[in-house]
């Protein structure tokens, strides 16, 4: 069986979760967002189109803004420092670094956006799309539908299991 394109592109993004644990100060901790969740957020926001760069105020496969990147702790590529000119765009346009930014943002703003008493991938999708202070609002239909369809497809491939 051939995997849907979004699953394959999500594999690249998900590697960032496995290869680059998040550091906060001197402590390291497990990233809050699963690989599957990152992949479906990526799919919903940009079709995980790795040819995307910066357009207007958003960059990369996760369509990250400078304020989002700053709230995420300003992760950078190995050769950059956060204060370097272009560090934000280089990180946001590189899928592994961009995934670290998403993880950092979610670690900062994690909350139950949909009121179901659980912080899960649906909440992370709302946080990513609507922001840390607006995630209780309604998601736009196009994003919501793409995200939900991705989660359904992954659930079918995983025998009903999605985290």
Mean pLDDT computed over 3-29: 45
Residue 17 lies in a domain: no
Average pLDDT, the chain: 86
Residue 35: phi and psi, rounded to 5, are -60, -40
Residue 4 lies in a domain: no
pLDDT at 45: 98
Q: Is residue 13 predicted with pLDDT exceeding 90?
A: no
Residue 29: phi and psi, rounded to 5, are -145, 165
Residue 73 lies in a domain: yes
Rg (CA), the chain: 15
Strand partners, 22: 29
pLDDT tens digits for range 32-88: 999 999 999 999 999 999 999 999 999 999 999 999 999 999 999 999 999 999 999
Residue 84 lies in a domain: yes
Percent of the chain with pLDDT over 70: 80
Same domain, 153 and 104: no
- What is the span of the domain harbouring residue 139? 112-157
Domain count, the chain: 2
Same domain, 105 and 117: no
pLDDT at 163: 58
């Amino acid at each position: 069986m051939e995997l849907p394109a979004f699953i394959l592109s999500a594999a690249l993004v998900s590697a960032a979760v496995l290869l680059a644990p998040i550091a906060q100060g001197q402590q390291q901790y497990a990233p809050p967002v699963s690989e599957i969740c990152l992949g479906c957020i990526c799919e919903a926001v940009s079709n995980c189109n790795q040819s995307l760069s910066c357009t207007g105020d958003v960059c990369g496969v996760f369509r990250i803004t400078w304020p989002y990147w700053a709230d995420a702790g300003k992760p950078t590529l190995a050769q950059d420092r956060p204060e370097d000119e272009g560090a934000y765009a280089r990180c946001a346009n590189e899928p592994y670094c961009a995934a670290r930014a998403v993880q950092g943002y979610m670690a900062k703003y994690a909350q139950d956006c949909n009121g179901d008493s659980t912080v899960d991938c649906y909440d992370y999708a709302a946080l990513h799309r609507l922001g840390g202070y607006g995630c209780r609002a309604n998601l736009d239909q196009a994003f919501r539908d793409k995200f939900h369809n991705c989660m359904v497809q992954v659930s079918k491939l995983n025998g009903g299991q999605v985290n």
